[in-house]
Amino acid sequence: MNNQIPVQRTDTVLLDVKHIQKTFPRGDGNELLVLEDVNLTLKPGEIVGLLGRSGSGKSTLLRLIAGLSDPTGGNINYLGQAIDGPAAGISMVFQSFALFPWLTVYENVALGLEALELPRDEIRRRSLAAIDLIGLDGFESAYPRELSGGMRQRVGVARAIVVHPNILLMDEPFSALDVLTAETLRTDFLDLWSEGKMPIKGVVLVTHNIEEAVQMCDRILVFATNPGRIVSSIEVTIPRPRDRLDPAFAAMVERIYVEMTAKPGRGSAPRFERVLGSGIDTFLPHVSTNLISGLIETVAAAPFLGKADLPEIASELSLEIDDLFPVVETLQMMRLADVEGGDLRLTPEGMAFADSAVDERKRMFSRLLLTHVPLAAHIRRILDERASHSAPKSRFLDELEDHMSPDSAEETIRAIISWARYAEAFAYDDAATSFSLENPA
Amino acid sequence: MPQNTTAWSTGSRGAPSRFDLIAILLVVGFLAFLGAASRGVLAPITTLDASPVSLDPTFLPGYVARTTLRMFAALGLSLLFTFTYATWAAKSPRAERILVPILDILQSVPILGFISVTIVFFLSLAPGRVLGAELAAVFAIFTSQAWNMAFSFYQSLRTVPTELTEAARSFRLSGWARFWRLEVPFAMPPLIWNMMMSMSGGWFFVVASEAFSVGSTTVTLPGVGAYIALAIAHKDLHAVGYAIAAMFAVILLYDQLFFRPLVAWADRFRFEQEVSGKPPTSWVFDVLSRSVWVARFRRQLRRGWANTAAIVKSAPKAIRFESREHTRRLDLVATLFVLVIVVVSVWKTAVFLAPELTWADIGTTFGQGAITMLRVFVLILLASLLWVPIGVYVGLRPDVARVIQPLAQFMAAFPTNLLFPVAVMGIVTWKLNANIWLSPLMILGTQWYILFNVIAGASAIPGEMRSVGTNLRVRGWLWWKRIALPAVFPYYVTGALTASGGSWNASIAAEVASWGKDHVKADGLGAYITDATVAGDFHRIVLGVVTMSLYVLIINRLLWRPLYYYAERKFRLA
């Protein structure tokens, strides 16, 4: 491998992202703000992690850096030059691997070099070297469909590094793999990185997995949603190779959980403040009532007995933060639980819920839903007032869309429908797309 | 579709709403249409001569209605055929071995060549009645619609997920119940898609089958096809314009009133659990599903339907779709039976053809076939060079695709034989070479299959895959060679296969065309069959049709099918 870069920190900056803002046009003519005032620098020898939940704009930021779309405000400098379209020294690894099924492993890897119009034998030499480096020796003539997920993502990495980029962008590169394979790929990648064998100078990694961020990154930028923004920057100084069982590792994971679930006033928490002090315009995550009951039961039972550490509960239930946080938020909103310092604690109602049988649970849930979820109370009031005791879904959808994107409005309505059905608070007829007070025949 | 924001009363209250009113209007309108259109079917055939087709545009709506009714009658027949033939093939391994190849061969028989052979038969079925001619026309349309529907249904029945079949069996559903509760719903979405394709293809043949002469027998059924034939004979450009406008209107109408509601309704039968993209919507479907009266009618219908299960229980096993034990001896009997039929039909054909035809005749038809084949291939190539880049361009731009895609499907439904006279006028006026300038007519109606399949293929390329190309800065020819062309290839093959088959069929109408007294003729198998039809020479019609079937069959087996499997294996995006 030529031009090996010794991994060392210098003061030169690879990438400088300043005051980035990104909006998307909405159907109603207004704009949806997905990134607000985002700043980021990447130095040689650094792995920077962008950690946040889905919808926090971290993948959007990565696409901006890759030159795949343009920011609405602010600027991105790569080696002192403003980025305008895809830059030569920046390449990307995709979540879904994005290999071309009609090209062999070799052809997939060689594609980037062909685009550079290099001589044939150089393309051949460098492609084979990259395939060799990433541990795919012997698979050159295989087609992607013949490979396992892990092997496919190795091809994805080889394809990205074969062009000798200065910056490697990784968009949740291991999240489509099973736990064991993901772990193997992570450690292999980190080994190559630490040994300085990869022809790259810096990495930006998007992830929603806290452990992965702590294991891989030198610096973690925590994103909040609505709009997407960076709420904190955490240096990870644990020496490599990092061990998950190391107390320092666990403490770092715990700290990030606290950061990501803290209440407002402490400067971070994403959606929690909006959920807690809410009107009918609040976004509601579509969380299954099974998950709500399941989480309450788990926390109420031994060994937690009403109070659980979020990282522990996440690994106990093998839930990613994208799955866990919406449930936690829902529990908070319904006053079934509180979150404090990275711990989830059931309220007396929550404990009572855990001890109840199905019918009693439904009654409790109905009461809490109509008390603490303004949208549910609103729909119920309208249905009570009308002579027909029915109202179209679109009526409420329109109201919600004044405050949020059509997708969020749709998800909010779906959440309300499934909760109200469980609580038997009111009914919904999908064929007629209308709410009513009676159950359909 | 605009969302409704005002209140209405739901079904359970029982009060009629404006949806009931609209629903009633739709139903009454349909019944009136049916009555008006079918008037005269049972009349004696002499009435056709007594009240000949008129070029007065006020008659046109009536003609369009008659034509549309024929289309739907044929569609009904095709469904009946699909539910019986395809089910039989899927349920009985013994029948499958012979039924599926037969279907494959039927698919390659040129329908327009067929009409002349069948029309005499149907006229003899209902002698002296219009009904016979109507049946012949409906049968011609049926043969253009049924095969791909049956194939689609057969494929679906073969691919019902094992889990669902096992669930149905563990609930001890009878074969009959399993068929209607599981298999038909599962097969519904692809079947409806194929019905739409069939309907589109059918217009070409309905237009061709309404004004027909075999030797001295001339049949003119009131309809758009007859209207256009008369307009051509009288060189009436205005009338041609009216007919084209009427066709546009009717295609738009049946799409809105029939297929869109059907597609919206069938969306619930899609097997995939997760929601992908926006579900299809239809205002007609919304109106019908919100109407109290329609709901009541549906309940009655369902109750009546439930009774069928009891009736069927007492029926013999074969009708109940229960599998019977099958023995080697029965297998042998079946094979022998098929063999006897094959031998007899080959013998009959030979005896029919042999005394009248010489080896030279056979040589001639094959030579003519080669000319038509060359023409089809060149046209497909030209159409591909034009439409593949355009299709890729459109498919990668969702905004443009949303406009172009329905337009292309619409164009595919438009019976292009309405436009043939224009070409003839041009050829006669400028004294052009008919062998070259008649050719484009063959692909005029079928090229759209290439376009809309390529559009579908390009828009199916995953976003991340396109990003890879951008990220690695793959551009120009390298981009076409490595990314765009391979990605659309499986879709392109499907489109080109359909276009090729359609063009062979169209050659019968396109290699000979006329405008008033001007007749223009090209060399080719299509012209050969048309000439034989006009002359009433049944031996040469049969020879021509058999030769064309052979050509299509062999090209499918040697070219399209291997290409299709290759594309599926290598290029299909997982």
CA pseudo-torsion sign B301, B302, B304, B308: positive
Q: Could you give the angle at which helices B184-210 and B130-158 cross, rounded to 10 degrees? A: 150
pTM score of the predicted model: 0.78
**CB contact (8 A) between residue A86 and residue B473:** yes
Band (B28; pLDDT cuts 50, 70, 90): low
Identify whether the C-beta of residue A275 lies closer than 8 Å to the C-beta of residue A415: no
Alpha carbon of B286: minimum distance to chain A alpha carbons (Å): 8
- pLDDT at position B43 is 61
**How would residue B51 be classed by pLDDT, with cut points 50, 70 and 90?**
low
Element (H, E) at A33: strand A31-42
Residues of A whose CB is below 8 A from B567:
none
**Residues B270, B274, B279, B280, Cα dihedral to 10°:** -20
B192, B263 Cβ separation under 8 angstroms? yes
Q: What are the E-state strand segments in A115-183?
A: 167-171
Asked if B486 and A92 come within 8 Å (Cβ–Cβ), the reply is no
In sequence order, the β-bridge partners of residue A204 are A48, A169
pLDDT value, residue B22: 66
pLDDT at B391: 93
Q: CA A188, CA A194: separation in Å to the nearest integer?
A: 10
pLDDT of B24 reads 62
Token pair, residue B126, equals 């209902």
Percent pLDDT > 70 in chain B is: 84
Contact B10 A434 (CB under 8 A): yes
B351–chain A Cβ distance below 8 A for any pair: no
pLDDT at A248: 93
A330-344, A405-419, B253-267, B317-331: the lowest-pLDDT one: B317-331
Q: Which residues of chain A have pLDDT under 70?
A: 1-11, 26-29, 262-278, 439-441
User: Is A392's CB within 8 Å of B573's CB?
Assistant: no
B133 touches B119 (CB < 8 A): yes
Residues 147-206 of B with CB under 8 A from A: none
**The residue to which tokens 């069939």 are assigned:** B198
Check residue A17 and give its pLDDT.
92
pLDDT score at A265: 40
Run of H or E residues at B295: helix B292-313
**Global ipTM:** 0.76
Exposed/middle/buried for residue A402 (C-beta within 10 Å: 0-12, 13-18, 19+): exposed
| Residue tagged 């691997």 (tokens) | A97
Tell me how many residue pairs between chain A and chain B have CB atoms under 8 A apart: 104
Place B42 in a pLDDT band, splitting at 50, 70 and 90.
low
List of chain B residues whose C-beta atoms are within 8 Å of the C-beta of residue A114: 474, 478, 482
* Confidence at residue B530, expressed as pLDDT on a 0 to 100 scale: 87
B474 at interface of A, judged by CB pairs closer than 8 A: yes
CA count, 13 A, side-chain hemisphere, A258: 10
B-chain residues within 8 Å CB-CB of A62? none
Residue B319 has φ and ψ, to the nearest 5°, of: -75, -30
Residue of A nearest to B285 (CA): A431
Nearest Cβ partner of A388 from B9, B478, B489? B9
Which chain B residue is nearest to residue A388, measuring alpha carbons?
B9
Q: What confidence score (pLDDT) does residue A100 get?
A: 92
Asked if B7 and A436 come within 8 Å (Cβ–Cβ), the reply is no
Q: Distances from the Cα of B468 to the Cαs of A94, A95, B398, B462, B489, in angstroms?
A: 8, 12, 19, 10, 19
For position A321, what pLDDT does the model report?
Answer: 83
Rounded percentage of chain B residues whose pLDDT exceeds 90: 14
- Contacts by A108-112, CB closer than 8 A, 24 or more apart: A108/A144, A108/A155, A108/A159, A109/A155, A109/A158, A109/A159, A109/A162, A110/A162, A111/A159, A111/B468, A111/B472, A111/B474, A111/B482, A112/A159, A112/A160, A112/A162, A112/A163, A112/B472, A112/B473, A112/B474
pLDDT at residue B294 is higher than 80: no
Which residues of chain A neighbour B569 with C-beta distances below 8 Å? none
Q: How confident is the model at residue B5 (pLDDT cuts 50, 70, 90)?
A: very low
Helices (H) then strands (E): counts for chain A: 16, 16
Sort out which chain A residues have CB atoms less than 8 A from B572's CB and list them.
101
**Cβ under 8 Å to A: B residues 8-27:** 8-13
Residue B275 and residue A414 in contact, taking contact as beta carbons nearer than 8 Å: no
- Does the beta-carbon distance from A432 to B290 stay under 8 Å? yes
Average pLDDT of span B346-363: 79
- For residue B346, what pLDDT is reported? 77
Highest mean pLDDT pick, A151-155, B416-420, B556-560: A151-155
Specify the 3-state DSSP secondary structure of B316.
coil
Confidence at residue A162, expressed as pLDDT on a 0 to 100 scale: 94
**pLDDT at residue A91, as a whole number:** 92
Higher pLDDT residue, B294 or B416?
Answer: B416
Average pLDDT, chain B: 80
What is the spatial distance between Cα A220 and Cα A93, in angstroms, rounded to a whole number? Answer: 19
Q: Do A100 and B462 touch (CB under 8 A)?
A: no
For residue A206, the chain B residues in CB contact (below 8 A) are none
pLDDT for B432 beyond 90: no
